[in-house]
Structure 1
């Protein structure tokens, strides 16, 4: 019974993770255009603090939503894909600002987002099987 009440929360966290991943990718691309193309906003857009804070939020949301989902539906794929993405995002913090950082970050957020999507699909499949008795 408790799991049924908690499932909507986990789905919301997965959706928030997808939204956060998309916002991060847009931030990366916009930063490259604004800073290198127009020379504005470097102090704000390229601040390492933004990337660190984003990684903390992404890690927390993924840990709760995907970790919870992995325990619930016993599927490792969403967890492995998301953790690989978080590793890429962490690696992006270790390289200087520029195209290498953007590439690592975009790969990372795409994988984290894919992990959340897989998690949503697995939770939907598990709920269908539960209702149908399979």
Structure 2
């Protein structure tokens, strides 16, 4: 009987240890907004996606003229460009293009039912690459593309 108890404890203790360790690891992973990485004796806190997005939008607002000029260059019918900063978002290219983009949207010529979208790729270090922006949504009025 004593031998059975000893075997039971020998089997049960490692299992309990693994369960406790697994619970501790899961508890550490419940902070999606911050990632702490350590390099030597320093701890580095990486920024959350929301903080990165705010920084990128601030950068884009400083370079608004370049975005406006790019949209205007797409059609001679574009006289003015309005950017909807509230609709600006960060996205990835999906399965085929694993890059990250800032998607900027707006209207043209103060027309309520007009629209356009520009995709601006982000470099690996998180900076926006304005030189490689492309039209993600072509310029349209009432859903009809304009030449």
Q: Would you say same fold, with TM above 0.5?
A: no
Q: TM-score, structure 2 length as denominator? A: 0.28
Q: TM-score, structure 1 length as denominator? A: 0.30
Q: Higher Cα Rg: structure 1 or 2?
A: 2
The structure where helix makes up a greater share of residues is 1
